[in-house]
Amino acid sequence: MAGPAKFLRRDIWTLQSDDPIITGYANGVKLLRQRAADKPTSWTYQAAIHGTENAPNKPLWNQCQHGTWFFLPWHRMFLYHFEEIVRAAVIEAGGPHDWALPYWNYGLPGRNATLPLPFRKPKLANGDPNPLFESARASGINSGAALPTQVTSPAIALGRPHFVGAAEFGGGITQAAQFSQQTGRLENTPHNAVHVAVGGPTGLMANILAAALDPIFWLHHANIDRLWTVWVKNGTHKDPTQAEWREHTFKFFDQHGHEVSMKCENVLDPPTDLHYTYEEGVTAPAAIAPKAPPPAPPEGVKVADQIDRPQMVGATAEGIDLVGDPVAVEVPIDAAAAGQLSPAQHVYLNVEDIEGKRNPGVIYGIYVELPADAPADHAALDRVGNLTFFGIEGARSPEGDEHAHGLRGAMDISRFAQELAARGEWGGHSLSVSFVPAGLIPPEEPDPGDAVPASHEHPDTPVRIGRVSVFYDA
Amino acid sequence: MAWAARLARLPSWLGLRPRPPAAVLAVAALISLAWSVLLLGLVSMPMASGATPAMAAGPLWICGVPGGAMSMGGGAMGGSGGAASPLQMAAEGMPMWSLMALAMMLPAALPATSHVALNSLQRRRGRAVSEFLVAYLLPWLAFGGLALLLLALLPGQATVMLAAALAIATLWELSPAKRWALNRCHRTSPLPPSGWRASLGATRFGVLHGGACVVSCWPLMLVMAAAPSARLAWCAGLGGVSLAEKLAQRPRRSARRVGMALGLGFVAAALAALSAGV
């Protein structure tokens, strides 16, 4: 190990609003916005590297990696270079030389789940426009509405034993499967869910092609990056070993506007590789561990191989339209295909062919075998995952430079399946799957101009799920 | 990424590795069979006698079909083969066209075939894949019939027709419509698990996928239909192009490159036609 990292990324909720980290960030954002848009170190250019609707493409625009096992390393590199660019601007504006991006740890209960104060008000104390404010956010966010636990909790992701796989921590191998969106669990929640909850139906954060224009984007991603370091700290968790991941290279611009490239395997230990670390002393929420920890793969066998050839055991015959209300479907489990469920068998729920014109700005929690007398507050109930629709526009964009396909999500439901099998209610029976919208929690003193919509309010954009299915790995 | 590394990953991109379902292996075997027949057929197939490739009287499809040595609109073979209606000529070209459609367009359908197999109950995999593939190939056969009929109806020198087909293909590859169609090739549609709904679902996905691929690749097949010689080389080349476009991570860039290559082909064919004194 090298010596202590030079730069410390701190929890923004532990800082006073006049902390040089916050004022430095505001000054840096302001400075970047003043630069010509065609300069790689300008605010809009940096956001366009993630995604933009502007055309024609300038060098390195629209590079962001979503729905893939490159999601985490790409965004780590993206943040690293952005932080360098902002630090140079902070220093230029007379700020601290060791400035580092703060992070927004919304996963802790209470005020942490609300938008940090320096981002909420349109004006600074001196009357100048606040560079960190953005009006295009979900209603209620700027007046202190809290994100629900379903949206912010990284517990499901942190409990996944493996990195590789759509139902695992970091996402699936994308080029191996032309027809899958291999979104990993951390990318799904809290990443996608927080994007959509903060952006709402029309805000910047909910749209991949505009998200990085909102200054809170970078603090959200610093937290996602931090959660990756938290997951890795658990001794048994390992980053991918495959050369096609480790040796993959992405390009960015440094603080001088020069193109630079980085390899995934060279960003896996931030303190040594990238000279930053996260503030200690902030406890992460407990991870949800799978009930029966999966056996370790035999020596020499790639983890991904275990789910490369799944076996379908049941699926719905019809699609489901989601319009903002809770919906439950029955997935018939085929008796012959399901057979006797062995205790070591992993069972996955897939939500497939998700299509819609626009992101409705609603997040649905996915529940299996939800009891009929379930309390109205679903926060405490056992969820298997979330449906977030982040990126749904790109999935059907005929003009984009990526292949269009519906979104797809995969989640581990082994413990539910094992319980049903133990009761003799598996093969030949139906699995009940519920989709329940998770709305924002209104602040105690709501701002009349920024009201939180009731969670049952119908979004103008319906979305359709093509099929819900259940798979065994094989 | 190095080409060798890309090639090494091709089997997994196509769904052939690791542990592919039996139905997918069966389709891979069918592709190999089609290529074997084509390669063996090359030996036994009579060429239009007396015609140099550049001077062939019509597209190889028409004059090269065994037993159907007829020509279009004059040239070296003019008038020697007896009269045959355009419909008859197109019909005689269809068996070979079908074989080539299997050889050229099935590889690009392997990822979708794998998707159908993996998303079906195991006992229905064979059936679902068959229903999907029949529906996938129908648009190709329909297009082939039309293309051959068109070529039989159009009088003209083979190289002129080839140049025209290459010009159309070039414009198409560079158009936004091509990108739109290529994107459609990556859409899936839901596959219900059992009963008539499952058959309907597999068939619908086949028609959608085949239709999208025809819309994306029809000018390439037009070039194929207009090829006056070296049919197998065209078949392999254009089949490889359609597969590469399907697997490309950046479809806009790949379509642009293919468009430029076809443009060069057009220039070459146009020069050949001019030097032949058309």
* ipTM, 2 dp: 0.84
Mean pLDDT of B97-115: 89
CB contact A301 to B (< 8 Å): no
Taking the C-alpha atoms of residue A113 and residue A111, their distance in angstroms, rounded to an integer, is: 5
pLDDT at A280: 75
Helix axes B22-44, B231-247, angle to 10 degrees: 160
DSSP labels, A320-388? EEESSS-EEEEEEBPHHHH-S--TT--EEEEEEEEE-SS--S--EEEEES--TT--S-GGGS---EEE-
Taking the C-alpha atoms of residue B58 and residue B62, their distance in angstroms, rounded to an integer, is: 7
CB contact A427 to B (< 8 Å): no
Q: Which residues of B touch A352 (CB under 8 A)?
A: 119, 188, 190
Q: What percent of chain A has pLDDT over 90?
A: 63
Q: Which residues of A touch B190 (CB under 8 A)?
A: 319, 352-353, 466-467
CB contact B12 to A (< 8 Å): yes
Q: Does A319 sit within 8 Å of B179, measured CB to CB? A: no
pLDDT at A300: 42
Asked if the model's pLDDT at residue B35 lies above 70, the reply is yes
pLDDT at A296: 45
58-77 of B, contacting A, C-beta below 8 A: none
Q: Which residues of B touch A348 (CB under 8 A)?
A: none
| Three-state DSSP state, A103 | strand
Asked if the model's pLDDT at residue A295 lies above 50, the reply is no
Mean pLDDT of A389-397: 72
CB contact B112 to A (< 8 Å): yes
The chain B residue lying nearest A332, using CA atoms, is: B193
The average confidence (pLDDT) of chain A is: 86
**Span A9-57, pLDDT tens digits:** 999 999 998 999 999 999 999 999 999 999 999 999 999 999 888 877 8
Question: CB-CB: which of B13, B189, B192 is closest to A176?
Answer: B13
Higher pLDDT, B89 or A70: A70
Higher pLDDT, B39 or A281: B39
Q: Does A406 sit within 8 Å of B187, measured CB to CB? A: yes
- CA A18 vs CA A11, A14, A118, A126, A219: distances in Å: 15, 12, 9, 13, 17
What are the tokens at A268? Answer: 């896996």
Q: What percent of chain B has pLDDT over 90?
A: 26
Higher pLDDT, B92 or A283: B92
Mean pLDDT of A103-110: 92
| Three-state DSSP state, A27 | helix
Asked if the model's pLDDT at residue B51 lies above 50, the reply is no
Q: Does B9 sit within 8 Å of A334, measured CB to CB? A: no
Residue B278's contacts (CB-CB under 8 Å, 6 or more residues apart) are B157, B159, B160
The average confidence (pLDDT) of chain B is: 79
Higher pLDDT, A295 or B217: B217
**Span A228-268, pLDDT tens digits:** 999 999 878 999 999 989 999 999 999 999 999 999 999 99
pTM: 0.86
Q: Does A311 sit within 8 Å of B122, measured CB to CB? A: yes
**Span B65-80, pLDDT tens digits:** 333 333 333 333 333 4
State how far residue A176 is from chain B, nearest Cα, in angstroms.
Answer: 5
Higher pLDDT, B64 or A402: A402
**Span B223-277, pLDDT tens digits:** 888 877 777 888 888 888 888 888 877 777 788 888 999 999 899 888 888 887 7
CB contact B250 to A (< 8 Å): yes
pLDDT at B89: 81
Question: CB-CB: which of A175, A319, A398 is closest to B190?
Answer: A319
Question: CB-CB: which of B18, B187, B191 is closest to A404?
Answer: B187
Question: CB-CB: which of A308, A315, A318 is closest to B19?
Answer: A308
CB contact B4 to A (< 8 Å): no
Question: CB-CB: which of A175, A179, A401 is closest to B9?
Answer: A175
State how far residue A315 is from chain B, nearest Cα, in angstroms.
Answer: 6
Asked if the model's pLDDT at residue A71 lies above 60, the reply is yes
pLDDT at A199: 95
CB contact B23 to A (< 8 Å): no
